[in-house]
Every structure is written in C-alpha cells, then in structure tokens.
Structure 1
Amino acid sequence: MTQFTPPPLDSDPGAGFTVASFNVNGIRAARRRGFDEWLARRQPDVVAIQELRCSAEKVGEFPGYVAAVDVGSIPGRNGVAVLTRDEPAAVRTWATTPPRARGLGEFAAEGRYIEVDLADRPLTVANLYLPKGGLPAELQRPGSMREKPDGGAKHARKMRFLAGFARELQRSRLAALRAGREFVLVGDLNVAYLEHDVTNWRAARKMEGFLPEEREWFGAVTGPRTLVDVVRRLHGDRPGPLTWWSWAGESFTKDVGWRIDHQLATPGLARRAVSVSVDKEPAADQRLSDHAPLLVRYRE
C-alpha cells in the first residue's frame, strides 16, 4: 500500500487554532496506514477521534498530545478520544458522568461520547460517535439489504438516541455558555442533512442516514442561535465537502460519498471559523479509513 502524504500546514499556524474530527475505523489499523504521519504533518490543536475499536491499553500514546479516552465496554466496537496539546481542564464521559436525558442510559457504556474543557482557551469540545442505525421496517426489503432484516430495531434504537441526545446536547451547550465557554460538537453523526451532503441524494432518501426523520432531527439541533453547521457555512451552498466513501466498488475513486462528519459550534465560535478542509487521500490504496479527516480553523 502506498502511504498517504498529508497536505502541508497552513502558512500562518499562529493565526488561530484547528479542530480536527476523524473516524479512524480502528485506530490500530489507521496507524498502520499512516495516521501518525498525518498527525505529525497536520498538527491540529484538537483532534476528535471516533471508532477506536480497541481496549484502552491498545490505544497507545500520541507524541505532543494528551489523550482523553472512552473505549466503552463492547470489545472491538465504538470508542472515542480527544487529543489536546495541554492537559484538559476537565474531562466528562458517559461512563463517569452518566447522561441525564431519558433514553440515553442504554448507550452510556458504549464509548460514544466524550467532552473536554480546554485548558488554554474558553472552549468545550464534545466528540460524538452516533449510532449508524438502520431502515424502518416498512423500507426493509429482504434480498436487497446487506444485513438481515430486523423489523426496524436498529432504526428505532437510533431514533431513541437522537431524541435523548437532543436534550442532553441542549444541557451541555448551555452549561458551557454559563461557564463562559463556547461549545463545539464534532464527530461522526451518521446523518447527512442537505441534498448537497450526498452525491446520489435521490436514492439516499430511503437509506439510513438521510431519512426524513433523521434530517429533521439535524435541523432541530442546529440554528443561528444554538449550534451552527460550521462546515456548511464555510463551504457554501454547493455540493460537499464529502467525508465518507464506501470501501466497496469505486465510490472513493469516483467521489461518490456522504458528508456525515460535522462540526456544530455555538454562534460566537462559528463566527470565528475561517477555513475548512477534508484530507481526502489522492488514491484508494492510500486511505487511512473509510472516512477522511475534517479540519476547521478558527480565529483566536
């Protein structure tokens, strides 16, 4: 496999700070493919990682960073981390601080959410790996699905998570603001919101991740006075930027993908966002994951 060479750093690294989000689809596999080289080259100030998919002792160390980690209790599944330059002022996970919202208890031990208060600036960074879900029963067609029909069980589970998380997110955002901190939710939300977020959006209307009820949820938790979709604000009203492509077929080569990795920021922080980039590798044999790193730079 040819190793991916990341893009160069911004020409003026002192102009602000960069928050990166990356679903690595297994941190050990991503490191074999070149994750450490990407990290050393790009040097984001904050790195939110999803799908560690290993035990805590196998996550490893990241030179130049302090890692706050919740691997969850399901072997080889889920797991989130936030890498910061300095020791965080505070770290909260659902394992140590159970979610208060009704409906999230069943997810608390799965390693899906971690929240850190940065020590060097008034900002709370929340990192989420949202359940992928599935199709509702009425859309399931035996023989046309990769997975065995489940009567809509995975879809119902995801919708329970969405309902509970909307309430929990509101609490976290307001708690940060009361403490004098801005707030940003980053991660793999497994929801694409607009037609611009999916290459083949017409077909996707009956796929998990782009169902009407999922898109309605995304619209409900975002807005100019609550959480701003920073990437869409910077990228504008045009297709992309895509962040996920299937391993199967030529989706990556033909750039047929989805935008399901997001950064949702409080209005004050969103106004300071100046650039967005997706580090899509130039060739399929250089991929670090089925996702690509999403980076947003903010003014100080």
Structure 2
Amino acid sequence: MPRSTDAFWRRAYAEAVRIASVNVNGIRATHRRGFADWMASRDCDVLTLQEVRCTVADLPEDAFGGYHAVYDPGSISGRNGVAILTRRPVAAVRTWGADVVVRSPGEPATWVPSDDPGTLARGISRYATEGRYIEADLADVPLTVATLYLPKGGLPEHLQRPGRMREAPDGGAKYRRKMHFLDAFARQLDRARRTARANGREFLLTGDLNIAHTRQDVAAWRRSQQAEGFLPEERDWISRQLSPRRLVDVVRRLHPDADGPYTWWSWLGQAYAKDAGWRIDYHLASPGLARRAVCAEVDRERRGVRLSDHAPVVVDYDL
C-alpha cells in the first residue's frame, strides 16, 4: 500500500469503524423479530446484508433504518438479494452488470446502473442477475466493501442417498453449479482485490459463503464430513483464498483457538439451544485491514429473540 494511503488510515478515525455482516433470511421477517431495534442499538458504520429476499415495492418503510443503501434484489422472486448500508452515500457501487437500487433515508428508491466493474472473470456473468454480489467504495475511507451470498449447493451424485436427504436427489446438479460458481468467483475475487489495492484501497469481503472452513467451524464436524458446505473440495476452496498476502479470515485471526463462534443454526430440533452450529458467515480482509481488526463478535440474539437462522458478525476495525 502506498505510504500516503497508510498515513490517511492512521489519521482517518480516532475511534473504531464497526462493520457487520448479516444474512437476514428475509428482511420483512427479520424486522418482525426486532431487526430495526438491533440496528439502532448496534450503531454500525457499515452493514452488509444477504438474502434480503424482497422486491423493491415490498420493502418495509424502515427496511434499512437511517442508512444509505445500495441493493441488488436480483431477478429470482423471493430469493437472494444483497445490500450494503452506509452512513454516507458510497463513492461507487459495482455489480456484475445488474442495475442497483439506491435508497437514502426519507427518500424514494431509485434504480441506477452499476459503475463499470471492468472485465468480468470467465463464467461469472452467468450469475449477474441473481442478486448475489455487490461491492462499494466507501466515501470517507479508502476501503472497498463487498457482500456475497454464495450458493448453498448440494451433494455430488455419489453421496446422494434417497431417504436420507431432505430434498429429492438431483444427480449432483446443485453441487456442480456451486463448484462452477466457486471457480468463477475465485477469479473475480482476485480481480476485485487487486483492483482495490491498485487504487490505494483496502478490501473486505463479507457475507454468507455457505462453507465451513475447518473442524473448529462445525460443532458436529465428524458426522458432517460428507455434508454440503463441509466437503473437502469446498474447504480447500476457502483455503486457497486465504494467505497472509491475499485475504485473512478476521474472526479466526481474533479467535484462533475457539470453536466457532458459530453463525448459523438450523431451526430444527435443539441445534440453537445446544449451540450446535456452523460458522459460514465471514469477514475476509486484505492484510492491512485485517491487522486493524480489534474486536469480533457474533450476536446470537437480540433480547432473547433470534433475528434469523444466521447471526450478525460484527467487527470493529481501529482505523
């Protein structure tokens, strides 16, 4: 990073900047459980959301609180949808070609074209209209923040056993689609990270990656080794994105020996009560930003109520 940019970071803030990633699993449902109250009390500077799952016309009046928002609802009704909420309007916003919704406090939502994302990596344009990815350049600090909702996927055909699956066997179609997405997104992620660095910006990827990386990230890891989200090839993909010179798993850096902290629990059974969860929601930061992370927490509930089947991942960065 250029020295002038590093000096900017040292003097930019006297206090930590708080960034949270939340898979809301439906913005209307999570608001009924107290999301607006959580947003107000947590006082985040940046919020990234996944699975907003709402058309623009159906967004609640206070969907994004008092934040400026950029939102890609995607084209699949009732599914996906990602957003970035900030204190000030962002300097630029990029998707993989889809238009985005811009909404400021007290003003109607408007559709705007994405800023130029540059040349997209091979294979990524297939997912351009699904509402899975947004990245934005913050206006007040040299930081690019991205939010991702990665496909859940499925099992390869040889692991599909009728009668032991909640869904009907599909011959491995969802598995193959996820692996294609991972290949394409790895190339796109590398471009986004390098572009941010070339522009003197740190880079942060947040979101629901639908993959648990290590044994520490799944409570029941022994019996989950042939489960979607914890397959060896999925875990290897996470490993390839991480290195001291590329991206750093911020929560694991701050909690190196902890089980979890888990971020997702099934609604079924006693998984939540027993904390039998998975850590599949991440902050993956460029090395300079990762070094500035001072506190990482998972908000399991708000006043005794779960906001979603996921929990917010909140990190303070001392800038």
Same-fold call, TM > 0.5?
yes
**SS of the residue 1:57 aligns to:** coil
Secondary structure (helix, strand or coil) at the match of 1:165 reads: helix
Query: RMSD of the TM alignment (CA)?
Result: 1.5
* Aligned counterparts, 1:22-171, within 5 A: 22-60=22-60, 61=62, 62-94=64-96, 95=98, 96=114, 100-171=120-191
Letter in 1 for 2:292: R
Give the SS at the match of 2:18.
strand
CA distance in 2, matches of 1:168, 1:59: 30
Equivalent pairs counted in the alignment come to 287
For residues 259 and 65 of structure 2, the distance between their equivalents in structure 1, rounded to whole angstroms, comes to: 36
Q: Contact between 1:52 and 1:78, CA under 8 Å: does it hold in 2?
A: yes
The residue identity in structure 2 corresponding to 1:90 is A
Q: CA deviation at 1:63?
A: 3.4
**TM-score using structure 2 length:** 0.87
Alignment of 1:253-292 (within 5 A): 253-281=273-301, 286-292=305-311
Query: Is this contact kept in 2: 1:52–1:59, CA < 8 A?
Result: no
| Distance (Å, rounded) in 1 between the aligned partners of 2:307 and 2:301 | 8
Counterpart of 1:214 in structure 2 is: 234
Does the aligned pair in 2 maintain the 1:123–1:182 contact within 8 Å? yes
1:19 is the counterpart of 2:19: yes
The separation in 1 between residues aligned to 2:213 and 2:202, in whole angstroms, is: 23
Code of the aligned partner of 1:51: E
Determine helix, strand or coil for the equivalent of 2:243: coil
Q: Which runs of 4+ in 1 moved over 6 A?
A: none
Offset from partner CA, 1:56-100 (integer Å, 9 cap, x none): 232344332101100000000000000000000001112145771
* Offset of residue 282 of structure 1: 7.1
Query: Using the alignment, how far apart are the partners of 2:190 and 2:30 within structure 1?
Result: 33
Q: Is the 8 A contact 2:23 2:311 kept in 1?
A: yes
Secondary structure at the counterpart of residue 56 of structure 1? coil
Displacement after TM superposition at 1:105 (Å): 2.2
User: Which blocks of at least 5 consecutive residues in structure 2 are unaligned?
Assistant: 1-12, 99-113
1:106 is displaced (CA, Å) by 2.0
Q: Secondary structure at the match of 1:274?
A: strand
* Normalised TM-score (structure 1): 0.93
1:227 corresponds to? 247
Indicate if the aligned counterparts of 1:52 and 1:79 stay in contact, CA closer than 8 A.
yes
Q: Percent identity?
A: 60
Question: Which residue pairs with 2:106 in the alignment?
Answer: none
Which residue matches 1:294?
A: 313
**Offset of residue 103 of structure 1:** 1.9
